[in-house]
Structure 1
Amino acid sequence: MMLSKAAISLLTSGPVCKVLQPLRKNVVPVFLLHRFADESRGIKGHSQAHLEAALTYLKRNDYTVVSVRQVVEALISGDALPPKAVAFTLDDGFYDQAKTALPVFESYQAPVTLFLATDMQDHRYWSWDYKLEYAFKHTRHQSLELDLGNGATYVAFANSEDKRNLVRTLRNHHKRVPNEVAEAAIESFSKRLEVDLPKAAPDEYQPISWEQARSLESRFIEFGPHTQRHPILAQVSDEEAKKEIIGSWNALQTNMANPVPVFCYPSGREGIDFGVREQEIVKQAGLIGALSADPGYVRLKEANNNLYALKRFSFPDDMAHFKQYCSWLEYAKERMSRR
């Protein structure tokens, strides 16, 4: 059931929420954020102004921003969280996230967890999905012969929107093949597009450094493991999956004072990007929980809650839908749809 922004505004207004907000007291929305916009470096993403507006709304309406660590520990201990709890996460560990987002969370005294793909911090690797994006952004070509499942055909990409749509299609396709096949395909694309892929991540894909991470770690800013190279874990071998998960956690423990013992799966669709194998490795590594990217609330009172596949909502680009997820409204919609 889709609601108009006007309807959402009415249903999430103060008088309505005062009566109906207790419906959500046993669930927590955890929001997933990625890149932050930086025109000077050619980066599209969330705006600082929108994040500030969201945090201002939470503060003015008596929500409590809690950390992912607090959420998982509450699930384990059974201790209560505030009835209007909300949590935030950032995935990957890019410089723009550290430059733009983390100071905002710190200034609002709002906890956030940044999950790091640790080989980026060590400058050993940058992920094939970002190499794919880089190749199409920097090519002089405007078409390429591709097989997108219906036989080889020339695909045109004359403008930036065409390129974004094509990159999204190719990225989704290559998430479903073994990681080494995806790596080889991106190398092939770059040669055909006549784009040299830098060995180290170029400026627009620069990661936060360990030194920066240590300087930012605080009561409100925490860091957690997100693999080493950011592969789709379901597409690597047993040994590689162990190396990616355990290696990233070891790197966090070595480089940070108090890393969060909660894992975050790349791409994060349960049953597609990770499964039982990955959850078992996370448990064996001594981590106390893990986050997916499947939409939904973390349910505090369910006995069968899976600590190693906790759900998150993508951070909405508009305030109406942000209010919908934070208030009672989205949870009520979910319950009605299950009947």
Structure 2
Amino acid sequence: MRRWPAPTLSVLIYHRVLARADPLLPAEPDGAAFERQLRLLKRCFTLLPLGEAVRRLRDGGLPARAASLTFDDGYADNAEVALPLLQKHGLSACFFIAGGYLDGGMMWNDRIIERVRRAGDAELDLTAHGLGRHPLGSAAQRCQAIASILGSLKYLPFAQRQASAAAIHGDAGEALMMSSAQVRALARAGMEIGGHTERHPILATQTEAEARSDIADGKRRLEALIQAPLTLFAYPNGKAGRDYDGRHVAIVRALGFEAAVATDSGVARPGCDLFQLPRFTPWERNRLRFMLRMAQNMLRP
């Protein structure tokens, strides 16, 4: 007798949906590209709100080729560009928001990106910060400069990383994150709001007490905003064993979350750890390659 494979859940990660394409953010889709992806996903997958998908994964009844959409960090374009497209197609997403950057804040990585963007010279000299010189003669060189600087700062202790990014950034750029009103509007529109810590540290670089405080503070802030409990969490950066470990899984459980997502590729299967659900981003703009990457991810062991 033929045995059918168990159903799987593909969880997609987005960060931003841009109003227009940005050469310094080549991996981030604009609204038109995002809508094309939504159409493809609707055609080939059963798209479920993440909370419902988690319950079906736990209790049984997950449909074949199930998928859920998630957004990390809390960028304003999630509300301004992504939300209307989700509503147009009758879809839901879970927005994992780092609460401490709402209402005018800027994350450390965006400080670097905006500093590179506004640099008018052919070279960005960061030797005073111990980060060398970076040619900026083309968009590709600017992208390489961003990747290099971010890579150098990413795993520094949180306070040092924040201070370095602020010193490099100066007063460049604009507020990119959501307002509190936009978070409430997402919730009123039926979108799920999830925890993503207060300040978006890499949890493994913190003490256990600091990590607990950051996770709990972010949860409290968002619950006060939307007047509802948060049941879903996303680990910042999210690689198991490198960015978070079993201590942080235990903290998330103890704080009353019901499931959590990471950023290790693959799909969730019945019986998997609901507090370490894999997620995946198929970056390709070409529609065929986008779907091929989705299929390859579903075949990961």
The interval holding the TM-score normalised by the smaller chain is 0.7 to 0.9
Kindly indicate whether the alpha-carbon contact (under 8 Å) linking 1:293 and 1:313 is maintained by their aligned counterparts in 2.
Answer: yes
Kindly indicate whether the alpha-carbon contact (under 8 Å) linking 1:265 and 1:291 is maintained by their aligned counterparts in 2.
Answer: yes
Q: In structure 2, how many angstroms separate the alpha carbons of the residues matched to 1:54 and 1:37?
A: 14
Q: Give the one of 306, 320, 323 matched to 2:273.
A: 306
- Structure number with greater CO (CA < 8 Å, separation at least 6) is 1
Q: In structure 2, how many angstroms separate the alpha carbons of the residues matched to 1:249 and 1:209?
A: 16
Amino acid at match of 1:168: A
Kindly indicate whether the alpha-carbon contact (under 8 Å) linking 2:73 and 2:196 is maintained by their aligned counterparts in 1.
Answer: yes
Other-structure match for 2:267: 297
Q: Give the one of 90, 97, 112 matched to 1:109.
A: 90
CA positional deviation for 1:323: 2.1
Other-structure match for 1:317: 284
Q: Is 1:95 aligned to 2:76, yes or no?
A: yes
Kindly indicate whether the alpha-carbon contact (under 8 Å) linking 1:116 and 1:223 is maintained by their aligned counterparts in 2.
Answer: yes
Other-structure match for 1:6: none
CA positional deviation for 1:260: 4.1
From the superposition, tell whether residues 321 and 257 of structure 1 become closer, same or farther in structure 2 (CA, over 3 Å): farther
RMSD: 2.7
* Residues 121-143 of structure 1 deviation map (CA, whole Å, 9 limit, x = unaligned): 254x4222211222222233413
CA positional deviation for 1:32: 0.3
Which runs of no fewer than 5 residues in structure 1 stay unpaired?
1-21, 191-195
CA positional deviation for 1:293: 1.1
Other-structure match for 2:36: 53
Amino acid at match of 1:95: A
Amino acid at match of 2:80: K
* Residues 272-299 of structure 1 deviation map (CA, whole Å, 9 limit, x = unaligned): 1111222121111111111111111111
Q: Is 1:186 aligned to 2:169, yes or no?
A: no
Aligned residues: percent identity? 24
Which runs of no fewer than 5 residues in structure 2 stay unpaired?
none
Kindly indicate whether the alpha-carbon contact (under 8 Å) linking 1:106 and 1:220 is maintained by their aligned counterparts in 2.
Answer: no
SS at match of 1:90: strand
Other-structure match for 1:36: 17
Q: Is 1:126 aligned to 2:106, yes or no?
A: yes
From the superposition, tell whether residues 56 and 145 of structure 1 become closer, same or farther in structure 2 (CA, over 3 Å): closer
* Residues 247-270 of structure 1 deviation map (CA, whole Å, 9 limit, x = unaligned): 111112111144541111111111
Q: Is 1:162 aligned to 2:141, yes or no?
A: yes
Amino acid at match of 2:253: K
Q: In structure 2, how many angstroms separate the alpha carbons of the residues matched to 1:189 and 1:330?
A: 37
Q: In structure 1, how many angstroms separate the alpha carbons of the residues matched to 2:281 and 2:87?
A: 21
Kindly indicate whether the alpha-carbon contact (under 8 Å) linking 2:265 and 2:280 is maintained by their aligned counterparts in 1.
Answer: yes
Q: Is 1:26 aligned to 2:7, yes or no?
A: yes
Number of aligned residues:
294
Q: Give the one of 218, 231, 244 matched to 1:274.
A: 244
* Residues 64-91 of structure 1 deviation map (CA, whole Å, 9 limit, x = unaligned): 2111111222333x22122121110011
CA positional deviation for 1:326: 4.7
CA positional deviation for 1:219: 6.5
Amino acid at match of 2:10: P
TM-score (norm 2): 0.87
* Residues 131-185 of structure 1 deviation map (CA, whole Å, 9 limit, x = unaligned): 122222223341325599xx98543233332122121122123222211221232
Q: In structure 1, how many angstroms separate the alpha carbons of the residues matched to 2:228 and 2:91?
A: 17
SS at match of 1:29: strand
Amino acid at match of 2:74: G
Other-structure match for 2:171: 197
Moved more, 135-144 or 84-93: 135-144
Amino acid at match of 2:278: K
Kindly indicate whether the alpha-carbon contact (under 8 Å) linking 2:19 and 2:31 is maintained by their aligned counterparts in 1.
Answer: no
Q: In structure 1, how many angstroms separate the alpha carbons of the residues matched to 2:149 and 2:132?
A: 14
TM-score (norm 1): 0.78
CA positional deviation for 1:307: 2.0
